[in-house]
Chains A and B, each alone.
Chain A
């Protein structure tokens, strides 16, 4: 008998297998809705000041990290037509992080469908800048080249609260907005409108952490951690009634 086909896969078994990979070792509460951790060629940890606090994610690339070097949290859920995410990004441990050739992906949101090759509704890259880092933000458009870049965002400090809102829509109804150190109730610091992102089939997941580092980033910043704290999302209907702010 073929060893690879020795057992039939049952949905329950798959569910149990997926659940088994949830990071339970930490002494803090995993930030909802993120459930799973991926780490390769990186030093990744979850910790909190007290056991009941949500975890902060700390990721530092190893010196030997290459294209698959990564440390991030992720989840997948039922499709949503809108979602908000916020987190505090602390890059204060990085040194000489002034060149844009030092870059690393820090956040992305995925749709249900691949159109045609990528499923991103949002990608956020961190790049070196002076005096502080720069963000490169791209939104999934559903048409044309499928990714539209915002004007690069120069951060004003090394610790910032980033907020993102994605709405799904047909025709030109969809928007992607961001806020830097401002609440969701404020006017967005940037947004793109007229997106046709319903072709992605709704928001089904996100990943937060470091991934896809440039060689320059690994060479200059290996061993130096980027910290993601105060992680929140509106994709948590089972746990919260509303989501309008978040700690600065």
Chain B
């Protein structure tokens, strides 16, 4: 079975991120499939390089932490507000500019949804929500929703 349990079903309340700035030292823990919301304007640029130092990312970033027993079928989808060109990274083990990332997404423009999938097997991931900085027609920070979807048979 590989049905997806979306957040809006799993969690009706209590999943909005707090107003304080998330950071490597103080990430938001993702403990259930569900919906989170945030605002990168409350944060700072914490990792100007990502993915082994390969990908420059000079934007404000929110940091989440996610530990999975099996990443099979787990998807994270970023839905930025209109005008925000969002980016989404899933990086393994350490919250660092040199950490290896398993996935990076910036496939659409302002307001476009971005999705990453975790690989099979256990894993300890830092999820970085950011945005593209370089185009004056879009915002450098803003609000967003982050959906975490997982197969139903992962719940046990």
Contacts and interface: CB of A to CB of B under 8 A. Distances in A.
B66 interface: yes
Nearest to B88: A68
B150 A3 contact: yes
A4 B106 contact: no
Contacts of A18: 92
Interface residues of A, number: 48
A67 B55 contact: yes
Interface residues of B, number: 47
Contacts, number: 140
B69 interface: yes
For the complex of A and B, 8 pairs with smallest distance between CB atoms: A7-B69, A211-B54, A110-B98, A68-B104, A6-B69, A207-B52, A68-B106, A119-B98
B52 A205 contact: yes
A76 B106 CA distance: 25
A212 B54 contact: yes
Interface of A: 1-7, 9-10, 13-14, 16-18, 20-21, 36, 38, 40-41, 64, 66-70, 72, 74, 76, 105, 108, 110-112, 114, 117-120, 123, 204-207, 209, 211-212, 215
Nearest to A125: B56
Interface stretch (B14-22, B35-43, B120-128): B120-128
15 contacts: A6-B69, A7-B69, A38-B51, A68-B55, A68-B89, A68-B104, A70-B51, A74-B52, A105-B54, A108-B53, A110-B52, A117-B45, A118-B53, A119-B49, A205-B52
B154 interface: yes
A205 B155 CA distance: 37
B30 A211 contact: no
A204 B93 CA distance: 15
A240 B27 CA distance: 42
A20 B89 CA distance: 20
